Structure 1
């Protein structure tokens, strides 16, 4: 399938693409595609793909043309993942069969769309992937340039200006840094081939990721039993837990249950919005009022009203 990248707006370089700039454009685009695919397949984008997946990420420059009036146009050819990753199991945390209908370039477009969406705080992106999106800004050589990415109608076009990266940067900054945690619960839903582990805790279900094959092979003995896991908690833009990356695990001690809990990094604002949006039986106003008691003293009337507006958006 063919995709277009079009660059417009720079008077001095409109229709031309210097070799070093072409190298940067191809490298940054490929990096986004790679991280987006690993995020879809493994739940975390900062994982080096194996040899098989690297082939599936092939992006071929089919043509390049330009003029001072029309700008620079690149045509990229990609193959659907349904033809290149047959038999590869999907996202380690939830089914993502739709990824088979996409291509590397489609993942690039969709990643930018998710980051720039009005509901970007709920976007399914992680920090390394957002860093790659931010790095794409280096392709701009002036404030006047506009980048367009599209595949001629099948996927909605994405339009990028330098100003758009301010929003992406804020989204990246909103994601809490990973932190060391201890979680205790019953090991469940294990699928070794996907590195997937599920831990049922008293506070709810926790997705647990094991990148180390040795951990996967040895933790099988705890299947259906209680286990204490120590690792790094990774979060989503809205502050909710994405998954815990296992570093160590052990048979639960007497105090483990007391000291462990489901990690959270939501701000007071995010907690209020999340809980209010989850309420299905009451209005947004009554829901917010009912849960704001613990935090009401921490915010002013103006901020309280702004939260109400956020809920209705």
Structure 2
């Protein structure tokens, strides 16, 4: 498919208008290679992120299968975002995708493998529970203008929200409001966990803002829920080294926090990663809008993207 044909086939609805950003699509200037323990399975996996061609976007390669980082392949899974195709699954993609979207790495090939060559399921490493390792790796190799397979560059487009949009699940919601720039406002509420309580955080989507205020925020959990989650086959690789843990009665078990509202900022990190799944053909995934999320999560984020695509949920 040519680039012009690809852009003509961008997913759209009356809610979205695709407009030029004034920038050329980017990719990595070299290969990133990182390995580490995973959060939910506790296994070790290895990731190589290679430069990609303009107009081809971001996609994973696992067991010789290609799985685009697209909402078309997102499946509901507890406590993470999972991509599935032809019986193969890649779990916990949100932190890596968040870093790639924020740093403008529009096209890349993400090769991932586990130590067991027979696995049909693999998970992205958790590192310290934030996106810092990915940001540092991207900065180290740098970025360059992406060229297509014929040697041509391509303009980067962005999806502008034309009218208000919302999705609801019980007392959780995400609202998108038309705006001339990307802005994110996020709220969480844990009334039974006083050390967390109700928090709000708001930020623009500028490169330096993400690095300074969002990327280093770590995933968090409630100590009293750990046994139940492990009984459900989750967070087998979780520890005080890759998450901040809060007790209902004792507060934070592994301080200090990097920000007083670190849990809320981490929800913004996740939201950016999940909404990057709206990206197509090297375009921007996160919509140009003011996105307001309250008590959101991966499933609600996916519902929001599907609504952007004109799919009723």
TM over 0.5: no
TM-score (norm 2): 0.28
The TM-score normalised by the length of structure 1 is 0.28
Higher RCO, 1 or 2 (CA under 8 Å, sep at least 6)? 2
Larger Cα-atom Rg:
1
Relative to its length, the structure with more helix (as a share) is 1
